[in-house]
Amino acid sequence: MANKLYNDEQYPSPWGATWREFKQSHIALTGFIILNVFILLGILGPLMTPYEPYAQNFQSILLSPSWENNGTIAHVLGTDAVGRDMLSRILYGIQVTFGASVLLVLGAMVIGVTLGTLAGMNKGVRSSVLNHILDVLMAIPTLLIAIIIVAILGVGLSNAMLAIGLALIPRFVHATRDVVRTEMNKNYIATARLDGASHWHIFYFNILPNLIEHIIVQATLALSIAILDISALGFLNLGAQTLLPELGVMVREGLSTAYIAPWNVLFPGMCIFLLVLSVNIVGDSLRSAIRNRLTH
């Protein structure tokens, strides 16, 4: 009801304005396109792989990428120590690493935003020292949380996701709480309240529209952290296990032949790098776009 009032044709929606700012930067657009390619690969990749990611082929072990002298076009990015096709594994790896990261960020977001909204809307919770202590405890490094979770529950991709998710929740709580708190102090909320709007009504119609952008920015930040951490835990053998084609696991496996077949380390790592880079570019550009929109 309240937002209808501003939804006029002369005034583009906050989203529209942000998008207009966003697409003015070439770098931002490139990052956005690359990210979309990754998303597409993550979803459709397994349908396009030339080989099964687990298919071992002992006739073609440690083949170089196709552009090198002893490479073949059959294995564009070469093969690993048990003859698995690098390209197929990377395509699956994108699904595993990127998919797991997106899932865990979504999970952390839902929990974090809920907690943050509650904390922001209820004045009782926010002033307590408890809040601050929780913040301090959340300064504990992700890797340490992961080690503890692995010690209790054992290794596995889902446990790694749990650990990273736990470490990410406070970011969402903070961001949400701050936005909700600032908005709650504004006059239009007081007006709405005087009109007799319920808590839920205020949240849905007044706060949420303002919140969404901040949450999306937080989510892109969290996503890049999640990708880096998931692959790092896979690399350290504390996350996804050997059989799963996770990009960090692939780097670890490539290590055993790193001096003979460096592409086994280079390609999966490069893929993580590009993935994180595109997420970072989109996140950063989004932040600038929002900032520009607000200052204009």
The contact set with other proteins (CB under 8 A) reads: 27, 56, 58, 61-62, 81-82, 126-127, 129, 131-133, 136-137, 139-144, 147-148, 150-152, 224, 228-229, 231-232, 235-238, 248, 251, 255-260, 262, 265, 269, 272-273, 276-277, 280-281, 284
Shortest Å, Cβ 213 to other proteins: 18
DSSP 163-174: HHHHHHHHHHHH
Considering the complex, state which of residue 17 and residue 34 has its C-beta at the smaller distance from other proteins: 34
Considering the complex, state which of residue 192 and residue 235 has its C-beta at the smaller distance from other proteins: 235
Q: Which of 153, 169, 39 shows the shortest CA–CA distance to 106?
A: 169
Shortest Å, Cβ 29 to other proteins: 14
Shortest Å, Cβ 248 to other proteins: 7
What are 30's two structure tokens?
């490139």
- DSSP class of residue 65 equals P
The size of the chain, in residues, is: 296
Shortest Å, Cβ 196 to other proteins: 30
Q: Which of 89, 80, 88, 91 shows the shortest CA–CA distance to 57?
A: 80
Asked if residues 157 and 241 have their Cβ atoms less than 8 Å apart, the reply is yes
Considering the complex, state which of residue 216 and residue 232 has its C-beta at the smaller distance from other proteins: 232
Whole-number Å distance between alpha carbons of 63 and 155? 31
Residue found by looking up tokens 């998710």 in the block? 165
Considering the complex, state which of residue 73 and residue 152 has its C-beta at the smaller distance from other proteins: 152
Shortest Å, Cβ 126 to other proteins: 7
